[in-house]
Amino acid sequence: MQLFDFSLELPASAVAVWVALASVARPEDRQRAEAARGHAPPRVLAAGVALTAVALAALVPGWSTLETAEAELGALVAARAPLTEVRARGLALIDRHPADHALQDLVGMAHANAGRAEAAEALAFANRALFLNPVDAWAHRMAAQALLTLGHRTQAFLEYRLAFEAGDQALMWSEAIERPRTLAELQALTPDTARHVVVFASQLQRAGHQELLLPWLAWARERFDAVPESAQLWEREARVRLQRRELAEAEAASAEVARRAPDALSSHLLRADVLQALGRGNEAVEVLEALRPRFPGNVELAFALARLQVDMGLTRRARESLQQVNPLVSNYSQRAQLYILEASSYEREGLRTRALESWKSAVRMQPSWSLWFKVARLHESLHQFDAAARAVREGLLLQPEAQRGEGEAWVARLEAAERQRVEERSRERGGSGGADSVLLRAMGADEEMGTAGGEEP
């Protein structure tokens, strides 16, 4: 019987070895066992003492545990210690703990941090870590980055996929999905499970791979044709075709979605969007209205119907659709969407004051620079320049700094218009009203005077 294990420091391995040894050990001969026992000779005692000393000396390097070794080496890597120092210490710790894949990862990380010149060494340590632990997500990640550096792109994307399947899903969406240049690279990166492929398709569209998206969808649909999730891939293609205004292809893809998932609400919503794009808005409204008995109280359906009704000019019916699900709206995001649709319906009717209140409610539920700017534009259209400037300033606080130039110019223009309005009012009051005007503005009464007369000044 042959025994081999390089990880006897692990308790489970040690127990297995002792059990194996016990199973093959021969019992002492009965006669030897019954023989009279005498005192051990001095040489035997000396040998026992020597072996005991050796065993005690062997305990010294044994004080190093996996945890302390990983912590020590990790601290060196985190501190960006010189590569020679990290490598020397790492190899020493690896000799002491040859079964620990994390130590291989840490040395490989040090080589990866050194740049392109050390990419091959980083890959070598990643391969050793994967030999010890094939589902080591970090080793797959390090291998992918090293392979990209070395120009082996298709193999690199395969490693990215293996890292995703090993549990590092954030890496796929934050780094890997933006890097493919060819369809073959996308195919190597694509997960093997259908539920992940649907998410992959959505993220792929967000990553901006417009030229590769449709060829990839055709390949993915063929590969996953037999699974229920294929309907969602067809739906993704229909949405892409709609965005490109390829209406005939979008209609065909929508029909395929309806065939594969006839009872899904998303299939009917897609059909309505296609009909609207084809200029058949009335049919689209009829399709969605016919769904209400099948999906009573469905907020998504109500929002889609109200949005379509606003576009068709059916503003009162849109507000009725929203009112039916108003008690069922369960979170701030949905509540903001309800107010946005309501505001859009009032604007379509020319009721700017009511629309302004709805936009204000929406921005309270879900603050964003775009909603604040919408509030500002309505204030400006009502000649409420001071309130408009305040709304723009609120929006600027939420807008990326690089995009604030236009908004700051807008604030300056609004403030100039407000000063001009105040000066005109002062002249109308006979010149002595300047101080009174300033006082009124400080008390917040000036805006109330501007809004009391209705929508128009």
Q: What is the pLDDT along the chain (457 residues), one digit of tens a residue?
A: 445 555 555 666 777 776 777 776 665 555 555 555 555 566 656 666 666 665 555 545 554 577 888 888 889 888 889 999 989 998 999 888 888 999 999 999 999 988 889 999 999 999 999 999 999 999 999 999 999 999 999 999 999 999 999 999 899 999 999 999 999 999 999 999 988 999 999 999 888 888 899 999 999 999 999 999 999 999 999 999 999 999 999 999 999 999 999 999 999 999 999 999 999 999 999 999 999 999 998 999 999 999 999 999 999 999 999 999 999 998 999 999 999 999 999 999 999 999 999 999 999 999 999 999 999 999 999 999 999 999 999 999 999 999 999 999 999 999 999 999 888 888 888 655 445 555 445 444 444 333 333 333 3
Q: Please name which of 387, 335, 385 lies closest in space to residue 363, comparing C-alpha atoms.
A: 335
pLDDT value at residue 308 = 96
Compute the Cα dihedral for 377, 383, 385, 390 and give only its sign: negative
> Which residues, including other chains, have CB under 8 Å from residue 29's CB and lie 6 or more apart?
none
| CATH number assigned to the domain covering 190-279 | 1.25.40
pLDDT value at residue 443 = 43
Domain boundaries, the chain: 190-279
Distance, in Å, from the CA atom of 149 to the CA atom of 111, rounded to the nearest integer, reads 13
Q: Are 213 and 207 in contact (CB under 8 A)?
A: no
pLDDT value at residue 177 = 93
Q: Distance of CA 302 to CAs 223, 267, 427, Å?
A: 35, 15, 52
Q: Distance of CA 358 to CAs 6, 298, 344, 345, 355, Å?
A: 70, 22, 9, 10, 5
Identify how many contiguous H helices and E strands the chain contains and give both numbers. 26, 0
If phi > 0 it is left, if psi is from -120 to 50 it is alpha, else beta; for residue 116 that is: alpha
pLDDT value at residue 38 = 55
Q: For the segment 320-337, what is each residue's pLDDT rounded down to a tens digit?
A: 999 999 999 989 999 999
pLDDT value at residue 429 = 80
Enumerate the H helices of 227-314 as residue ranges. Answer: 230-243, 247-260, 265-277, 281-291, 299-311
- Residue 274 belongs to what H/E stretch? helix 265-277
Distance, in Å, from the CA atom of 446 to the CA atom of 435, rounded to the nearest integer, reads 13
Distance, in Å, from the CA atom of 260 to the CA atom of 239, rounded to the nearest integer, reads 16
Residue type, 219: W
Q: Please name which of 411, 381, 386 lies closest in space to residue 397, comparing C-alpha atoms.
A: 411
Q: Please name which of 263, 267, 287 lies closest in space to residue 275, comparing C-alpha atoms.
A: 287
Q: Distance of CA 38 to CAs 29, 35, 52, Å?
A: 17, 9, 22
pTM here is: 0.70
Q: For the segment 390-420, what is each residue's pLDDT rounded down to a tens digit?
A: 999 999 999 999 999 999 999 999 999 999 9
Residue type, 163: A
Distance, in Å, from the CA atom of 116 to the CA atom of 169, rounded to the nearest integer, reads 25
